[in-house]
Structure 1
Amino acid sequence: MSRIGKNPVEVPAEIKVSVDGAIVTFVKGNVTRTLDTKGNVAIELDGQTLTFKNLSDSREHRAFWGTYRSLAANIVKGLTEGFTKQLEINGVGYRAAVQGKVLNLQLGHSHDINYDIPAGLDISVEKNVITIKGSDNQQIGQVAAEIRSFRPPEPYKGKGVKYMEETIVRKAGKTAKK
């Protein structure tokens, strides 16, 4: 069983943290992130260190203990370093371009797909790689999944939009009768 909840979360000095009951608020500049634990764990703030404690030894409280600790650590990492996800476009004639606050995708459909870039995210395109950057890991993953869903990679030629670290298992095509 994982004990990730035992580890404290060190918050850098440039991030202001406040704990109000079950709600933790992280502020850096004009960016604010909140974490509502819904009373499932006890939170203590000692200087710039957050510690999470179990309310009981029940299975549910132990699960929440590690989950909320990881969520808090991801918020801190997002506000300090940021998160990045990359997508790769494969296929003849498949292109992407950023035009203002819109990502224009040409993925072999009869029409172009114009995807509005959400606030707080930065999307750039270089050759056939789409790079998504931001401070909210969940939002980056959601946007990447939505872009990938416009043309998922197919297993015969590998054409489509895939994650950079994703491996497409190729299938053999038809074979002639013997």
Structure 2
Amino acid sequence: MMAPVYRLPIGVNCLSNNGKVYVLGPCGVVDFDCVSKIYRKGNVIVFLPYLTPYYSSIFTQAVLGVVLGYSVELILRGIGYKVYKFNEKLIFALGFSHSISIDIPAGVSVRFNKKTLSLTSANLGLLQNFTTSIRAYRFPDSYKGAGVVYVNEIVTCKEGKKN
């Protein structure tokens, strides 16, 4: 059986220290917990003990993230829904009696208009958790389609009351 060998792209560095693996690249740094140690020669890396398929996919996501980056776009669909930034927090007006403030995690950059929100990060897991926490405050309504939706998401609306 051959050891799984990973080739790093140009400009990407990988380190392991105290049970953590750090992947550094032009778009940022991604770290994750792993018990394996890194042995490298040039741009070829071998993990010993071998990575499980779960950690192997996390490693490949980290390498793609630090090279290309990940981005998610959200749209606030509804009357009076808007977002603005104040002191490294996102403040949402989502039709409640109060506004909702969410801390922006380190490693996520945010660009927005009043109705659209673009999130970018090198860490895919962090980005998905952050977008899910935003959507949890106002999930798309099944009757009007209002709420926080992804850009290409199609919300199928139910038929309203019948006489």
TM-score by length of 2: 0.81
CA contact (8 A) 1:121 1:140 kept: yes
- Measure, in 1, the Cα distance between the counterparts of 2:19 and 2:110: 34
Q: Which runs of 5+ in 2 are unaligned?
A: none
Alpha-carbon distance change, 72 to 113 in structure 1, aligned in 2, over 3 angstroms: same
What is the RMSD computed on CA atoms of the aligned residues?
2.7
* Match for residue 118 of structure 1 among 76, 91, 105: 105
Task: Describe the shift of the 1:151–1:13 C-alpha distance in structure 2 as closer, same or farther (beyond 3 A).
Answer: same
Pair 1:88-2:88 in alignment: no
8 A Cα contact 1:25 1:34, kept in partner? yes
Asked if the contact 1:104–1:113 (Cα under 8 Å) also holds between the matched residues in 2, the reply is: yes
The answer to whether the 8 A contact 2:91-2:100 is kept is: yes
Query: What whole-Å deviation, never above 9, does each CA across 1:50-106 have from its counterpart, x for those lacking one?
Result: 356886xxxxxxxx6322221111111111221111111111111112234121111
2-structure distance, mates of 1:85, 1:32: 18
Q: Which residue of 2 aligns with 1:26?
A: 23
Map of 2:148 onto structure 1:
161
Q: Find the structure with the greater CA-based Rg.
A: 1
C-alpha distance 103-36 of structure 1, shift in aligned 2 (>3 A): closer
Structure 1 residues 19 and 123: CA distance shift in structure 2, 3 A: closer
Distance 1:18 1:136 in 2: 16
Q: 2:134 and 2:127 mapped to 1: Cα distance? A: 11
Please list the CA deviations of residues 35-55 of structure 1 after superposition, one character each: whole Å capped at 9, or x if unmatched.
43335xx86534213356886
C-alpha distance in structure 1 between counterparts of 2:82 and 2:127, whole Å: 21
User: Percent of aligned positions with the same letter in both sequences?
Assistant: 26
- Helix, strand or coil: the match of 1:114? strand
Contact 1:86/1:130 (CA < 8 Å) preserved in 2? yes
Report what 2:126 is aligned to: 139
Aligned residues, how many?
Answer: 160
* Change over 3 Å in CA distance of 1:150–1:10 after alignment to 2: same
Q: Give the corresponding residue for 2:7.
A: 10
Corresponding letter in the other structure for 2:141: E
Q: What is the CA–CA distance in structure 1 between the aligned matches of 2:29 and 2:59, rounded to whole Å?
A: 13
Runs of 5+ consecutive residues of structure 1 not aligned to the other structure? 56-63
Q: How far apart in 1 are the matches of 2:21 and 2:83?
A: 39
Q: Structure 1 length normalisation: TM-score?
A: 0.75
Counterpart selection for 1:103 from 75, 78, 90? 90
